[in-house]
Structure 1
Amino acid sequence: MSDMWHVLESTFGYESFRGDQEEIVGHVVGGGDAVVLMPTGGGKSLCYQVPAMVRDGCGIVVSPLIALMADQVAALRELGVSAAYLNSTQMPDERAAVEDAFRSGELDLLYVAPERLNTAGTRNLLQQGKIALFAIDEAHCVSQWGHDFRPDYLALGELAELWPDVPRIALTATATARTHAEITERLHLGGARHFVADFDRPNITYRIVGKAEPRKQLLAFIRSEGTVDGAPATGIVYALSRASVEKTAEFLAANGVDAMPYHAGLDRTVRQRTLERFLRADGVVVVATIAFGMGIDKPDVRFVAHIDLPKSVEGYYQETGRAGRDGLPSVAWMTYGLADVMQQRRLIDQSDGDANHRRVQQQHLDAMLALCETVDCRRGQLLRYFGQDATQPCGNCDTCLSPPATSDGTVAAQKLLSTIVRLQREFRQSFGAGHLVDILRGADTARIREFGHDRLTTYGIGTELDAAGWRSAIRQLVATGIIAPQGDYGVLTLTEKSGPVLRGDVAVMLRNDPVRSVTRSRSAKPADDLPEADRELFEHLRSWRKAEASSRGVPPYVVFNDATLRELAARRPETPEQLRSVSGIGDAKLEQYGDDVLATIATFEPA
């Protein structure tokens, strides 16, 4: 087992493992199978990279991320690891060279996509070499009820029969108990040891705000919290539709944000250029559909924003986890409104799946709405969803930093429900939220006059709330199932929960959603709060890193991540021995960059 410690220090530059890493690595090095649930940024990669280098043979890493394999391999080669990949982007001679290297035992790690691993040709190739282990990354993709199902993952269970003596490790950053069970069953890992790390990402501040003008709200958020020391920060913005992605990117760019769109409808070369620029440049914001981001190992993403409601808590957690992988403070921001809820319910009703599938999707949506509408600690709600205890408020989410007020909304709910009932009984009509609010507030509109709805006894009885207040109340009533949208036009109808509220048997508490100014979270400053002189050196080192990365054709974080640069700026090593003790600097990086880093620090002069 001393070999794994030597690899950790000499190759990766770390003096110790984090959390469950030591136990996981030791188990896999010893030939055991493992299922690993660990949050993004928790160090999953080391759990298979170190065993692959310690064990005899080549570690086969199954990854669905063809677009990122080259960068993942480049990062490993920078560490002195013999790594390669096989995918459809390579020319025949390139693939042949990789295959020869595998057969001859030259590789420590080989990355392949699941669809390639499932071909007879690849499996025949693997029979010709020595395999150290199989690592199945993004293992939640095997779950047919999950948020990111990929059919090619289902065939990976056959690895147990084809290579029964080779250890297998399945890893994911997000899994409920149900998904965890599916991973175990479908990948034939019944005898595996299970490791479930703490899902908490304490460096992420969670914020969810009511939707008014989402693009303007997003811009205000980015201007307030999307900067680091006044410089634009790197971020990801998620939207559900391609049209929304393009319009949002265009809006941000027009307002001075370096924003670029990314979705499947764009030309492949455009998408690749966007990805490369995002990985290599600072301060770039990518506006994307949910297809973007899985497996991106960019550590300095300072914020992830959603301008549409995610379909599930799993998806939300996976996407927000792409922020702050370096452990430094970051923000997960989202805006959502009644229209989002209506749209999601309509999509579920119109889906091609069977009744069971729709029921599961509805459960996902209900859990997401519960997270959005909670008046308690959001982080606690999030952790409990994944089966972890969270008894104390986190102090770093919006509901902890600015606790929302609640009030008895029973009377308001009864007024709304009564209006729906009277419209159906007296006029045999149903309407959406906008018209209902107009009736309750006594608006004088052409539509109300046309239908004669000013004759309703509930006309004008809801002036205690403004239009925004009523929309918030309706959104919360939909979220709790007291009313429900129906049909393509989102008309609101009663549910089985409506009767008890109308009769006064059940009280309704509503959170108040006042318009709030954006409050800078504690994530707005660097975690270590470097002194000004050290910060100048940190920026100087960043400039050196950018030039070095450009000359090598790799992303800057492949050279050194920000956490390593911060430690360099704070400690100012003067010798190779001192430099070697900095976290993240192993033998290969000491040899490649040591002299340059020491010279950069020695010649630095503060402004």
Structure 2
Amino acid sequence: MTSAHTLLSDVFGFDAFRRGQEEIVQAVAQGHNTLAIMPTGGGKSLCFQLPALMRGGVTVVISPLIALMRDQVRGLREAGVAAGALTSGNTEAETEAVFAALEAGELKLLYMAPERLASGGTVQMLRRIGVGLIAVDEAHCVSQWGHDFRPDYLRIGELRRALDVPLAAFTATADAETREEIVARLFDGVAPETFLRGFDRPNIHLAFAPKDSPRRQILGFAAARKGQAGIVYCGTRAKTESLAAALAAEGHSACAYHGGMEADARRAVEERFATEDGLIVVATVAFGMGVDKPDIRWVAHADLPKSIEAYYQEIGRAGRDGAPAETLTLYGPDDIRLRRSQIDESPAPPERRAADHARLNALLGLAEALTCRRQTLLAYFGEEADPCGHCDLCDAPPDRFDGTEAVRKALSAMLRTGEYFGTGHLIDILTGNETDKVRQRGHDGLPTFGVGRDMNRAQWQAVFRQMMGRDLVRPDPERHGALRMMSAARPILRGEDGIELRRDTIAAATVRPAVKAQVSDEDAPLFSALKAKRFALAKAAGVPAYVIFNDRTLIEMAERRPDTLDAMARISGVGATKLDRYGQAFLEVVTGAAADRPHPVRRRLAGREAGALFDRLAEVQRDLSRGTDGTGKYLSCPNATLRHIAERRPSSVEELARLPGMGPAKAERFGPAFLEVLAGG
């Protein structure tokens, strides 16, 4: 079995694992049933791709989205790994090519959607091709109580039993309840080797802001980050189109994406986003699942997401390269009412609706947090953390006040009007605003009429929004959105408990400057030239630019400026196959001149100790080609022979003589000098 470190370096071009990867790779490679919870962008795909190369047989990868599968297959092929996908998006020729490779025993990884498991012939086909491992990506989709349930994921446990092979399940968004269901459904309740690698993405700056002219807020946020790739998530299709048009009018490269678009139009947006630097996609949540673009620098939500899991997954599309990234989530009372009504009006059983309300409560608790957002977010997933110093609330702690009296006044106004009215009417009562509606219902005679004149309308709106965010009150869909009191509010109303609220600071989250430039001013021109070369190569190959090299690799090239293929091979992300395909082209950009192209045998040794040995052996051979006195018969060794010597490092002349391309005469002439080189002399 080839070692994980050798494959990591030679195939994927990385010198070291990320935190937590190596133990997972070893467990999967050794055939242990495995469950790994890793943060988005933490490198979970490598944790089944590497074991697939270390183990015998084919690794079947169950993945929920065509875009994700295509992206990973393209990336693997660029790295020289035999991979294929069977999806409904394949052409007939693509499907035939995958089956031919399987029958010939040439494929190491086979991607497929869970829906394919419903086909009666799938299991027989997988038995025939010799599957050695099942990998399940986005394993939380198996949970009927989760946020992305896919019924066909329930067939995976049956597949594992039928093939009797190890299974490795991966996800980034699974709370304790979801993890229990994964174990029950995929592993028959027998606990697999479990790795909880945390949910923290420390490179992502978290920020929320109450809505106050949300279009202006989004435009301001994007303006500070002009030229950087970003995603704006919206709650409706119409909003994606209007906001994309507004961004374009401000000079941004922006386009809309939603499920109502024609398939060709959606694919065109996906293609642009994959290949075009600095594009902003304004989208519904239909966009982004499976997008592995590593250099998305920011994600903004123009509307509140559905749940804390959805929020975590959507912001996780930023900064997958580990470089700094930013988020901004806007929210308001209308968002809360919409999300509550969607849950209440769903056909789900009561216990499911209660669970969905709890998930929404967790997100609202994050939105209305008074202390570090990262602490609040990680606490939901069962992790403890110190204040991060890298979120909007750590940047500028909120102005708090004792909101007990204000909340009691609001609750009293609700109860005295029979819980039949919404926020607007209740604020009119509290501030003593004698509207026709207030007078007609006699609410100007209530004891609570005018008791809240000490705060203005905007301040009361913030109080009611925070009350909804704390789940003290909820809009009642059966009463046209009128607010009703929840049990958590009773202790406050009775004077048994208090509550602290915060004053809104809308401007703070929107004027935050963009993250610093990716490279220094000195390296910026070279970085731009490298990106231009990448774009040209990607366009010619018909693949996304980041499949060639991601931004972090190009940044390292710009900063370290390799001047030989050996130096290029030491750049992170430059594996052997990519070095062979693209190394020369990028080297010429860095050096500014056409570089000598080494022999293919030497190129395969680039960046390795054997490469330096090869060069010294070749030099010795040239010096001794006609013997020590320069008058002997000309002798030379093939480059392949020099490579064998550099890699195998024989310790005697006899061993040298037995290598292909040597023989007694060459061993006699070159042997002592070659051995001296190998010994470091």
Corresponding position of 1:570: 559
Asked if 1:241 corresponds to 2:231, the answer is no
Displacement of 1:256 after TM fit? 2.9
The separation in 2 between residues aligned to 1:40 and 1:496, in whole angstroms, is 36
Please state how far the C-alpha of 1:451 moved relative to its aligned partner: 3.5
Corresponding residue number in structure 2 for 1:302: 297
Report how many residues are paired.
Answer: 591
Q: Distance in 2 between matches of 1:91 and 1:205?
A: 41
1:417 is aligned to: 411
Task: Identify the residue that residue 544 of structure 1 maps to in structure 2.
Answer: 533
Give the match for residue 337 of structure 1.
332
State the shift of 1:518 in Å: 4.4
Please name the residue that 1:179 is paired with: 178
CA offset at residue 196 of structure 1? 1.0
Q: Which letter maps to 1:442?
A: G
- TM, length-normalised to structure 2: 0.84
Give the residue type in structure 2 aligned to 1:30: Q
Q: Which moves more between the two structures, 353-362 or 257-266?
A: 257-266
Distance of 1:457 and 1:254 partners within structure 2: 52
- How do 1:430-449 and structure 2 match up within 5 A? 430-449=420-439
Which residue among 247, 265, 268 is the counterpart of 1:252?
247
1:376 to 371, 378, 391: 371
Listed as ranges, the matches of 1:456-495 within 5 Å are 456-487=446-477, 489-495=480-486
Contact 1:396/1:521 (<8 A) preserved: no
Distance (whole Å) between structure 1 residues aligned to residue 527 and residue 365 of structure 2: 42
Runs of 4+ residues deviating >4 angstroms: 517-523
* 1:210-289 map, 5 Å: 210-224=210-224, 226-227=225-226, 232-289=227-284
Please name the residue that 1:205 is paired with. 205
Please, which of 385, 391, 398 is the counterpart of residue 397 of structure 1? 391
Task: Tell me the secondary structure at the aligned position of residue 304 of structure 1.
Answer: strand
Q: Which residue of 1 aligns with 2:524?
A: 535
* Residue of structure 2 in register with 1:316 after alignment: 311
- Kindly indicate whether the alpha-carbon contact (under 8 Å) linking 1:99 and 1:125 is maintained by their aligned counterparts in 2: no
Tell me the distance in 2 between the aligned counterparts of 1:498 and 1:49. Answer: 51
3-state SS of paired residue (2:300): strand
Partner residue in 2 for 1:524: 515
Equivalent-residue separation in structure 2 for 1:29 and 1:507 (angstroms): 54
1:463 is matched by which residue type in structure 2?
R
Cα distance in 1 for partners of 2:577, 2:105 equals 21
Which structure ranks higher in relative contact order (CA pairs < 8 Å, sequence separation ≥ 6)? 1
The TM-score normalised by the length of structure 1 is 0.94
Provide Cα deviations, 1:144-192, integer angstroms capped at 9, x if missing partner: 011111111111111221111x221111111101111111111126252
Return the alpha-carbon distance in structure 2 between the equivalents of residues 351 and 252 of structure 1: 34
Question: Within 2, Cα distance between the matches of 1:274 and 1:233?
Answer: 16
Q: What percentage of residue pairs aligned between the two structures are identical? A: 46
**Which residue of the partner structure matches residue 142 of structure 1?**
142
What is the CA–CA distance in structure 2 between the aligned matches of 1:115 and 1:477, rounded to whole Å?
43
CA displacement, residues 219-274 of structure 1 (integer Å, 9 cap, x when unaligned): 111112x33xxxx2111111223233333333333333322222222211111111
Question: What is residue 555 of structure 1 aligned with on the other side?
Answer: 544
Change beyond 3 A, Cα 1:533–1:420: same
Counterpart in the other structure of 2:6? 6
Tell me, yes or no, if structure 1 residue 83 matches structure 2 residue 78. no
Q: 1:103 to 1:405 in 2, by over 3 A?
A: same
Cα drift, residue 395 of structure 1:
0.4
Q: Which moved more, 1:247-256 or 1:573-582?
A: 247-256
Larger-Rg structure: 2
Q: Which amino acid aligns with 2:495?
A: G
In the alignment, what sits opposite 1:56?
Answer: 56
Q: Distance in 1 between matches of 2:181 and 2:235?
A: 27
Shift in Å, 1:12: 0.2
Matching residue of 1:131: 131
The residue identity in structure 1 corresponding to 2:492 is: V
Give, as a single letter, the amino acid of the residue that structure 2 aligns with 1:276. Answer: E
Distance, in Å, in 1 between the alignment partners of 2:80 and 2:484 is 63
Q: CA deviation at 1:523?
A: 5.8
CA contact 2:69–2:290 (8 Å) conserved in 1? no
- Higher alpha-carbon deviation: 514-523 or 463-472: 514-523
Distance in 2 between residues matched to 1:523 and 1:306, nearest whole Å: 17
Residue identity matched to 1:504: G
Distance 2:513 2:322 in 1: 14
Question: 281-290 or 176-185: which moved more?
Answer: 281-290
Q: Post-superposition shift, 1:101? A: 0.8
User: For the residues of structure 1 that align with 2:577 and 2:374, how far apart are their CA atoms?
Assistant: 39
Unaligned runs of 5+ in 2: 594-681
Distance 1:63 1:306, change over 3 A: same
Deviation at 1:105, TM superposition (A): 0.9
Residue 297 of structure 2: SS of its match in structure 1?
strand
User: Structure 1: which amino acid aligns with 2:176?
Assistant: A
Distance between the aligned counterparts of 2:546 and 2:19, measured in 1?
A: 23
State the distance in 2 between where 1:375 and 1:94 align. Answer: 53
Structure 1 residues 178 and 549 mapped into 2: Cα distance closer, same or farther (>3 Å)?
A: same
Inter-CA distance 420–571: structure 2 relative to 1 (3 Å threshold): same
